[in-house]
Amino acid sequence: MKPRISTRIAVVALLVVRAFPVGLAAQEPPAQHKLPRYVVRDLGTFGGTFASAAGINNKGWVTGIASLRHDKADRAFLRKNGRKIDLGTLGGQNSNVFSKPNQRGEVAGQAETSTLDPLGEDICGFGTHLICLPFLWQSGVMAPLPTLGGNNGRANEVNLNGQVVGWAENATLDSTCSSSEYQGEPVIWDKGVPQQLPTVGGDPDGFVNSINDRGLAVGGSGDCINGPAGSLHAVLWQNDSAMDLGNLGGKLFSQGASINEPGQVVGASDLPGDTNFWAGPLINYHAFRWQKGTLTDLGTLPGDTVSYPSDINNKGQIVGQGSRAILWDGEGMTDLNTLVPGQPFSSLYLLAANGINERGEIVGLGIDINGELRAFLAIPCDEQHGDLEDCHGDVERNVTTAPIQPPHAVTNSEITVRGNPLLGHLPAGIVIGRRPEGLAGRDFSNMPAAAVRRP
């Protein structure tokens, strides 16, 4: 979709994180349960000051975005066996990726071309207004994927069968948009050929965020979503048919973010009473899990009013964020920072958890003591990682969900937001992270995986 619809963090999906937990004094002491502690690694950059990790497969290969020397450009990367590979571009300076690589190491994403968009759109979100094309990267080669006749598109995920999902513009101007934009339609590319998927309720636009190896896919559909009147519906696609997954009582925003092999879906929805999604403090949306027709509200951490999930593995473990990185397990949700020894004085404070594999390894976006945004890998000290030297044989400990203050408090006045046309609309204390497709009734598919940066 357009600058209004930005993906998975994707961005990405949406990853909106509040910089300050509020109202903590009134919270009851949270219950304790046993979880492994985590060793956190900073995955570095390409010589610049910024990086964010998008996903991790079961081989431990990581995708994300990182800045080049002097921050002159941002590039999608694949970290394989400890080596970070620059995936390149399609003629422009920048590229991005919102999800994990498949087990063959294939990566889906989006990259700039060298051609200015004739309608002035900025789908890749780097402020260049260049045409942005979906790509599939495999065996060292980035190949563009065709659109539906329009100029732009985005690829959000690729499964083990090589099926790629995302969205692509057609050649029809969208009458629900306030500016000249083409319609953006949900797409699955099979062997490089785009197939348009249906939307729900007559929606003119849509996008697909995630697909499992069985071909089940999730995302959303809505109108142009360029303002408060826009709406977005969470959608599950199966056998080329679209099903509305419902919502948590709100009327404006619901979307599917990720689906695992058993068919569990995670996403987010606004709550009853959110009749104006741009009403600042009234913004109130929660992560949900959909399973066999039942939608479950996953709630928030103490002091938060929002939560957003980014990924779910086949064990049902979910990662995402509210005001900081979150892990949902069978016992509830936990601030991931409470599982890292040394917080709040660790080298990284974990803002957003973007991906999790079957070994429980988590990747995402953190902030270091200098206020720079960094890609992180968090490795659990459990029986599967007993040989990890930093774990020192300590495999679990009692933890609570009590929030920790970050080492550096980031506010809107201290950041610049790449490719984010909505900074002026966001309430104080809100920063944008990865993969926010359609969040807040908007399609943020133009946003980089981690769109916040220190100036």
Give the chain's length: 455
CA 271 → CA 64, 302, 323, 326, distances in Å? 31, 17, 18, 20
Residues 128-166 have pLDDT tens digits of 999 999 999 999 999 999 999 999 999 999 999 999 999
Cβ-count burial of 358 within 10 angstroms (0-12 exposed, 13-18 middle, 19+ buried)? middle
Task: Tell whether the model's pLDDT for residue 21 goes beyond 50.
Answer: no
In a domain, 81, yes or no: yes
Quick: pLDDT tens for 433-455: 333 333 333 333 333 333 333 22
Average predicted confidence (pLDDT) for the chain: 80
Strand ranges, E, within 281-418: 285-291, 294-299, 308-312, 318-321, 325-329, 332-335, 348-356, 362-368, 373-380, 397-399, 416-417
Residue 12 scores a pLDDT above 80? no
What digits encode the pLDDT tens for the residues 234-277?
A: 999 999 899 999 999 988 889 999 999 999 999 999 998 775 54
In a domain, 105, yes or no: yes
Instruction: Tell whether 366 is covered by a domain.
Output: yes
Range of the domain at 334: 9-453
Is 117 inside a domain boundary?
A: yes
Please compute the mean of the pLDDT values over residues 373-385 and round it to a whole number. 94
Q: What is the pLDDT of residues 46-84, one digit of tens each?
A: 999 999 999 999 999 999 999 999 999 999 999 999 999
User: Is 3 a domain residue?
Assistant: no
The band of 412, judged by pLDDT with boundaries at 50, 70 and 90, is: very low
Residue 428: pLDDT over 90: no
Confidence of residue 347 (pLDDT cuts 50, 70, 90): confident
CATH of the domain at 95: 2.130.10.150
Supply the pLDDT for residue 225: 54
Instruction: Give me the percent of the chain exceeding a pLDDT of 90.
Output: 63
The answer to the question of residue 188 being in a domain is yes
User: At residue 165, what is the residue type?
Assistant: V
Q: Name the pLDDT band for 343 (thresholds 50, 70, 90).
A: low
pLDDT at 230 over 90: no
* Residue located via tokens 């046309």: 421
What are residue 174's phi and psi, to 5 degrees? -85, 110
pLDDT in tens, 92-139: 999 999 999 999 999 999 999 999 999 999 999 999 999 999 999 999
CB distance 437 to 201 below 8 Å: no
User: What is the pLDDT averaged over residues 226-233?
Assistant: 62
Question: Is 177 within the bounds of a domain?
Answer: yes
1 domain residue, yes or no: no
Can you give the pLDDT at residue 228?
A: 42
What is the pLDDT, as a whole number, of residue 423?
A: 25
Whole-prediction pTM: 0.84
Q: Is a pLDDT exceeding 80 seen at residue 407?
A: no
Domain count, the chain: 1
| pLDDT tier, 6 (very low <50, low <70, confident <90, very high otherwise) | very low
